Amino acid sequence: MARVKSTSKITVQNSTEGSILRTRFIEHLANSLSAPLPEATERRLFGPIAFPGKATAVIGIRRAGKTTFLHQIRRNRLQQGIAQQRLPHINFEDERLVGLTVNDLSTLIEEYYRRFPTFRGKETVTWCFDEIQMVPGWERFVRRLLDNEKVEVFLSGSSAALLSREIATSLRGRAWEVVIFPFSFEEYLRHQGHRIPERLDLISANERSTLQGALRDYLICGGFPEAQGLDPESRYRLLLDYVDVAPGVIIKLSGHFSNRHSVN
C-alpha cells in the first residue's frame, strides 16, 4: 500500500512539474509574439535563405550572430506586411525551458493554433527555433511540422547536432543550410556607420584614408559582433573566452567523428 501511495505521489509531482514547464513554454511563446524585435546590423547573404518544403538550418561558430539573424528574418517578414503573430520565436537556451520534451513541442503547436485558429492551413507561419538541439527528438518534430502545417521553419544551433552531416541524416533531405560567419568588412563598415562607396575608383583621398583606417581597425578588432566597440582589454578577454571554449568543442566533435567512423 505504501508503495502505491509513493508511486502515485511521484506521478502527481511529475505531472505538476510538466504543467509548470508547459506554462513557461507558452508564456515564452506569447512574449515572442508581442515583444519588440531587437535592432541589429543586417547580415548580407548571397543566395536563397529558404527553400520550399525544407527547414532552414542556420549554423555557424559560437557568437557569430545566429540568433540575431533569426530576428533579422522576422524583421524582414514584418517589412513584407506579415503580422508578428505569424512570427513565433523560441529560444531553447532559456534556463526556464530546460527539460522540455518533444511532446511539449507538439503541445506548443496546438496551443498556438488554439489562439490563432484562422491561421491553420490558410496563412504561412514562420517558426524560428533557436538552439533547438537542446530538445531530444527535435528532428521528428520538425519533420512532422513541415508535413502537417502550412509553415516555414528556421533552426539555429552550433553543436554537433546541427553539423551538415547530422542535418542531412536527421531531417532526411528536408534541410536547407545557411552558414553565418562573423562580420565581413562590408558588414563591419555598416555596423560602424561608415558610408560604403559604390565604386572604389571614384573615391576621394579622404575617403580612401577613412577606409584604410577602418580596415586596420577591422583587422585588429575582428568581426565578432559582441567585440565591436569594446576597449582593447575587454575585447581581449572576450575573444580569449571564445578561444577557451573552442578546445572543448573540438574534443566533443572529434569524439563524435570517431564514433561515426570507427572501425569495429
**Is there a contact between 110 and 141 (Cβ–Cβ < 8 Å)?**
no
Residue 49 pLDDT greater than 50, yes or no: yes
Q: Of 92, 179, 97, 94, which Cα lies nearest the Cα of 142?
A: 92
> What are the cell numbers at 206?
579622404
- Domains of the chain (ranges plus CATH)? 2-182 (3.40.50.300), 186-261 (no CATH)
Range in 44-48, 70-74, 146-150, 198-202 with the lowest mean pLDDT: 198-202
Q: Which residue has the higher pLDDT, 62 or 231?
A: 231
Band of pLDDT at residue 24, cut at 50, 70 and 90: confident
> What are the cell numbers at 254?
572529434
Q: How much is the pLDDT for 54?
A: 93
Band of pLDDT at residue 149, cut at 50, 70 and 90: very high
pTM for the structure as a whole: 0.80
Q: How much is the pLDDT for 159?
A: 59
**Per-residue pLDDT averaged across 207-213, rounded?**
93
- Mean pLDDT, the chain, rounded, equals 83
Residue 6 pLDDT greater than 50, yes or no: no
Q: What is the pLDDT of residues 159-192, one digit of tens each?
A: 555 665 566 567 778 888 899 999 999 999 999 9
Residue 83 pLDDT greater than 70, yes or no: yes
**Per-residue pLDDT averaged across 71-97, rounded?**
93
b/e string for 23-51 if b means 16 or more Cβ within 10 A?
Answer: eebbebbeebbeeeeeeebebeeeeeeee
**Per-residue pLDDT averaged across 200-218, rounded?**
91
Q: In whole angstroms, what is the distance from residue 4 CA to residue 25 CA? A: 31
Residue 73 pLDDT greater than 90, yes or no: yes
Which amino acid would we find at residue 88? Answer: P
Residue 238 pLDDT greater than 80, yes or no: yes
Q: Which residue has the higher pLDDT, 118 or 201?
A: 118
**Per-residue pLDDT averaged across 216-228, rounded?**
93
**Per-residue pLDDT averaged across 120-126, rounded?**
97
b/e string for 220-232 if b means 16 or more Cβ within 10 A?
Answer: ebbbbbebbeeee
Residue 248 pLDDT greater than 90, yes or no: no
Band of pLDDT at residue 33, cut at 50, 70 and 90: very high
